[in-house]
């Protein structure tokens, strides 16, 4: 669990943030188009790989808004330039996101990266999403915004099977939450990158009822 706690407060084109908005554009810039099935069944030898869940503050359904998606896309690109990491899979939903990220060998500092991403988005969007009445003393003292829940949930990927299970769970998440009936119909997901690379078919349907113990 580490620095991230399971998000319980009731309150991504690609990165396909719409990463179908990250999909055609950011995906091409962020991911290599020559990835093959070996990417889907990746080795853990090159560095630590983690599955993350990040939630909006008080479950606000704001993360798919164009303003926030644009800020998130730019923030991720900026942080990756300073502290490299690879995005293996991503999905953005209205009130939370899931992603699988691989860090460089010997580097497990995902907390700093998430902190930089969230702060940059908060600064870019503060005039749109600031909710002064929600600024509790603890949030004010930590200079936090009313966009993100403070903590996040993380799971270190154990092996190829674990990786594949989490990728499937991530891509089926919009179906699980009732936003669409098929994974291919949700625009803010790396499902479209996997589809272009021939790793998944348009009619692919994972197990929407499979429970990873997260959102």
The residues annotated with a catalytic role in the active site are 188
Cα Rg of the chain, angstroms = 16
CA angle 170/149/50 to nearest 5° reads 40
C-alpha span between 16 and 85 (Å, rounded):
17
Helix axes 110-129, 66-82, angle to 10 degrees: 150
Answer for the pair 162, 49: CB distance below 8 angstroms, yes or no.
no
CA distance 33 to 130: 38
């Amino acid at each position: 669990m580490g620095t991230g706690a399971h998000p319980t407060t009731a309150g991504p084109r690609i990165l396909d943030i719409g990463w179908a908005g990250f999909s055609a554009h950011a995906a091409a810039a962020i991911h290599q188009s020559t990835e093959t099935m070996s990417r889907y069944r990746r080795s853990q030898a090159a560095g630590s790989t983690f599955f993350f869940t990040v939630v909006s503050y008080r479950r606000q359904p704001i993360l798919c808004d164009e303003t926030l998606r644009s800020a998130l896309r730019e923030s991720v690109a900026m942080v990756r330039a300073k502290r490299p990491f690879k995005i293996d899979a991503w999905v953005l939903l209205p009130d939370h996101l899931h992603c699988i990220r691989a860090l460089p060998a010997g580097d497990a500092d995902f907390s700093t990266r998430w902190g930089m991403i969230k702060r940059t988005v908060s600064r870019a969007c503060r005039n749109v999403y600031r909710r002064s009445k929600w600024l509790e003393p603890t949030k004010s003292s930590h200079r936090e915004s009313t966009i993100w829940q403070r903590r996040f949930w993380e799971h270190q990927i154990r092996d190829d099977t674990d990786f594949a299970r989490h990728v499937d769970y991530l891509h089926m998440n919009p179906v699980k939450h009732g936003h669409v009936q098929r994974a291919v119909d949700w625009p803010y997901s790396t499902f479209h990158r996997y589809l272009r690379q021939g790793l998944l078919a348009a009619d692919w349907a994972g197990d929407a009822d499979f429970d990873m113990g997260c959102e």
